[in-house]
Structure 1
Amino acid sequence: MKTSFTSTVSVQTSLRQAMAKAQSDLVKANTEVTTGVHADMGVALGGATSRNIDLTRDVQRIEAQQTTNSVAKQRLDSSEESLKRLGDLSQKVLDSLAALTSSTSTLGDARATISNALDAFTDIANTSVTGEYLFSGTNTDVKPLASFSASGSPFKAAVDAELNNYLSTNGIAAAKDMTPTQMQTFLDDLQSKFNGTTPLTDPPHTGLGGQDFWSTFVSDASSTNMTTRISATEVVATSTTANTPGFRNFVFASVVGSQFLSDDMPENVRTVISNSATSAIGKAISGINDQRSDIGLSSQRVKEADDSLAAQKTIIETHLNDLQGVDAYEASTRVTSLQALLEAAYTLTSRIQKLSLVNFL
């Protein structure tokens, strides 16, 4: 019979190696339990790893597109709400013009209502969301509309210059001395300048002859709308601009109503002013409603694109789960087994370390 000797060092070394492997396996198993996917995709999937990478990239692309769409949706929703408020202000101006009578109190109330509506319209038109102005077109960092009522307003000074030039050219002492025909001619010319069909002249605008009244004195907005890619194949307009006919006509009607419907104007001249303002505000309401419709259509397209992206993401994630998913029960059982193995190894190691010849002497 032959006796073999095994040193405690060799036993400890074997245990240490087994424990290191068990610890490594335990970390992987815990990761799989927590994440629900393989801890090492390359080892687990082999040749299918490239497929897994492609699908993961597709999910990330869809999530990035959904983030972009959420920003576009926020801009569209804010624009739609602002346009609704602008439409309400337009209706308020129309109601004030329709209710005009020859009484001084009614004229004063109408002028105040229209002037306040113009200030409110300007404030709403200058609304910004996440640092971008809604109605500036592609000039998102620029406030679109200038204030007419602000102290020293170049916009108001330009309108006054147009009036004074017309009066002096035609030998009229004051606006209250204009005939209905003269007032109609002046307002038609002023409206054509607001709408961009007639350029500025020099005089009265020194050095600005041939330029556009609206873009020179009223608006810093771009006439080009913001666009956003909402899917691989779709690009939609996700803003509108203050340079549209709806905005121009509202501002013209409000300026005319607040500035020229004065008490000292003859009634027949006031009728011309009221009719001109009423016609313009009607066009403003129609134009703003058209803008709301366009924004609404874009919102619907974004929603449909989001629904499509969500469906695509669900399909891809289903394939990914089949490819890289692990059995949670199996992984949990593996964690329990590895923990038990480590506990046994720790106990055995402790006992081996306590072995000593001194205990047998």
Structure 2
Amino acid sequence: MTNYISSLSFSTATNKSIASQTSNLVKLQKEVSSGRHYDVGLHLGSSTGEAVSIRAQFHTLNAIVDTNALISSSLDVGVQALENVSTLASDFQSTLLTSIGSATARSVIVSSSKDNLDSLISTLNTSFNGSFIFAGINTEETPIETYETGSTSKTAIDASFNAKFGFGPDDPQVANITVADIEDYLDNGFAAEFDSANWAANWSSATDEVTSSRISATEVIDTSVSANEEPLRKLAMAYTMISSLGAGKMSQKTFDAVANKATEVIGSAIQSLNNVIGKAGNAQARVSDASDRLAIQTDTLNERIVDLENVDKTEASVKLSSAVTQLELTYTITSRMQNLSLLNYL
């Protein structure tokens, strides 16, 4: 029996072979360049679900690591700012002590207290990465209003002073205020201006609630400090006490009473502020530790992903080289077959 092979059937078969080899070549090229299987799902089969789950975990933990980096930087800025506030308060307290009983030092201390209040407010309005870090959860709004004529805070202090004495802090009658009267005012009406309610009403738009952040799969911690913290309110009280109650016009004894009270308030504030700084420092350490643990976890997950999805590049390169050779051979044979003709044998 004689078998016949037509030119058309040969051409069709050859084209199919070339198409198949070319497709395989493309897949191998992509595997060599990417390091991953061309069709991971097809390769893994029933293990595809595991790969998807591990990748989801990997991306979730990586996102937390990225967030932790921002949290850590924000805490660094906040802690440094509070340490500066504490140092400035301590220096002012020392200077204030030297002003007691000294008429010549009074103008300097009054000016310095105003500068310190401005500095405190500026610090509490610090922003990082577009958010006010001492604003609690109200991070888009400046937490503390500038203390100046017409501001809610200064208007409230002036009104409080006037309610007690019947005249304002700039009135010459301030010289007649007695030690007993100023001490009563400082302990009651003036102190009330810095309690939580009046601070929120007249000074601060910050919330008592601070930002909390997930720093690992199982940990959520507080990661900011509010401008409403008591030691910060106390420092504002002490600086305002010296700068805004007409201290420059008071008798020496009355001024000394104010200076002594301010010294006492600052001392208490510094002690409490250092506790706040310590708490923020503890948060820094926890974020750092969590990030270290997450790095280990993500490395482990990545290793498993590599085991499941990646190809052996050496083996893939050998296959690619073989596929190239095979395709070149197919083209060569095809070319020769196409050049065959009966005319060559007649």
Residues 330 and 167 of structure 1: is their aligned pair in 2 closer, same or farther, counting only changes over 3 Å? same
| Displacement after TM superposition at 1:164 (Å) | 0.9
Does the 8 Å CA contact 1:107/1:261 hold for their aligned counterparts? no
Does the 8 Å CA contact 2:157/2:190 hold for their aligned counterparts? no
| Displacement after TM superposition at 1:179 (Å) | 0.6
Which of 158, 163, 169 is matched with 1:165 structurally? 163
| Equivalent position of 1:123 in the other structure | 122
Which of 310, 314, 317 is matched with 2:295 structurally? 310
Q: Tell me, in whole angstroms, the C-alpha distance in 1 between the residues paired with 2:125 and 2:219.
A: 28
| Displacement after TM superposition at 1:311 (Å) | 1.6
Q: Tell me, in whole angstroms, the C-alpha distance in 2 between the residues paired with 1:136 and 1:57.
A: 34
> Which is further off, 96-105 or 218-227?
96-105
Does the 8 Å CA contact 1:261/1:270 hold for their aligned counterparts? no
Residues 358 and 258 of structure 1: is their aligned pair in 2 closer, same or farther, counting only changes over 3 Å? farther
What SS does structure 2 have at the residue aligned with 1:138? coil
| Displacement after TM superposition at 1:161 (Å) | 0.8
Q: Structure 2: any 5+ residue segments left out of the alignment? A: none
Q: Is residue 9 of structure 2 the alignment partner of residue 10 of structure 1?
A: yes
* % identical equivalent positions: 30
> Which is further off, 173-182 or 345-354?
345-354
What SS does structure 2 have at the residue aligned with 1:47? helix
Deviation per residue, 1:206-257 (Å, 9 max, x gap): xxxxxx2211111111011111122232110001101111110110011111
| Displacement after TM superposition at 1:3 (Å) | 6.2
| Equivalent position of 1:113 in the other structure | 112
What SS does structure 2 have at the residue aligned with 1:263? helix
Supply the AA of the counterpart residue of 1:294. K
Q: Tell me, in whole angstroms, the C-alpha distance in 1 between the residues paired with 2:243 and 2:28.
A: 76
Aligned-residue CA RMSD in angstroms?
A: 2.4
| Displacement after TM superposition at 1:105 (Å) | 4.5
Does the 8 Å CA contact 1:93/1:254 hold for their aligned counterparts? no
| Displacement after TM superposition at 1:127 (Å) | 1.0
Does the 8 Å CA contact 2:76/2:284 hold for their aligned counterparts? yes
Q: Tell me, in whole angstroms, the C-alpha distance in 2 between the residues paired with 1:99 and 1:30.
A: 80
What SS does structure 2 have at the residue aligned with 1:29? helix
Q: Structure 1: any 5+ residue segments left out of the alignment? A: 198-211
Q: Tell me, in whole angstroms, the C-alpha distance in 2 between the residues paired with 1:351 and 1:56.
A: 50
Which of 328, 334, 339 is matched with 2:313 structurally? 328
Does the 8 Å CA contact 2:231/2:268 hold for their aligned counterparts? yes
Does the 8 Å CA contact 1:194/1:248 hold for their aligned counterparts? no
Residues 353 and 114 of structure 1: is their aligned pair in 2 closer, same or farther, counting only changes over 3 Å? farther
Supply the AA of the counterpart residue of 1:142. E
| Displacement after TM superposition at 1:310 (Å) | 1.5
Q: Tell me, in whole angstroms, the C-alpha distance in 2 between the residues paired with 1:117 and 1:359.
A: 106
What SS does structure 2 have at the residue aligned with 1:326? coil
| Displacement after TM superposition at 1:312 (Å) | 1.6
Supply the AA of the counterpart residue of 2:267. G
Which of 275, 278, 282 is matched with 1:293 structurally? 278
Residues 163 and 4 of structure 1: is their aligned pair in 2 closer, same or farther, counting only changes over 3 Å? same
Q: Is residue 251 of structure 2 the alignment partner of residue 266 of structure 1?
A: yes
Deviation per residue, 1:35-84 (Å, 9 max, x gap): 32222123222222222222222212211222232232222222112212
Supply the AA of the counterpart residue of 1:332. S
Does the 8 Å CA contact 2:161/2:190 hold for their aligned counterparts? no
Q: Tell me, in whole angstroms, the C-alpha distance in 1 between the residues paired with 2:31 and 2:304.
A: 18
What SS does structure 1 have at the residue aligned with 2:139? coil
Q: Tell me, in whole angstroms, the C-alpha distance in 1 between the residues paired with 2:104 and 2:326.
A: 95
Does the 8 Å CA contact 1:111/1:261 hold for their aligned counterparts? no
> TM-score, length-normalised on structure 2?
0.90
Deviation per residue, 1:243-276 (Å, 9 max, x gap): 1111101100111111246333111111101011
Does the 8 Å CA contact 2:174/2:246 hold for their aligned counterparts? no
The count of residues paired between Structure 1 and Structure 2 equals 343
| Displacement after TM superposition at 1:306 (Å) | 1.3
Does the 8 Å CA contact 2:164/2:189 hold for their aligned counterparts? no
Q: Is residue 154 of structure 2 the alignment partner of residue 156 of structure 1?
A: yes
Deviation per residue, 1:105-129 (Å, 9 max, x gap): 5222212222111111111110111
Q: Tell me, in whole angstroms, the C-alpha distance in 2 between the residues paired with 1:354 and 1:84.
A: 88
What SS does structure 1 have at the residue aligned with 2:213? strand
Does the 8 Å CA contact 2:65/2:291 hold for their aligned counterparts? yes
> TM-score, length-normalised on structure 1?
0.87
> Which is further off, 271-280 or 227-236?
227-236
Q: Tell me, in whole angstroms, the C-alpha distance in 1 between the residues paired with 2:344 and 2:253.
A: 126
Q: Is residue 80 of structure 2 the alignment partner of residue 81 of structure 1?
A: yes
Deviation per residue, 1:323-347 (Å, 9 max, x gap): 3332110001111111222223334
| Displacement after TM superposition at 1:102 (Å) | 4.9
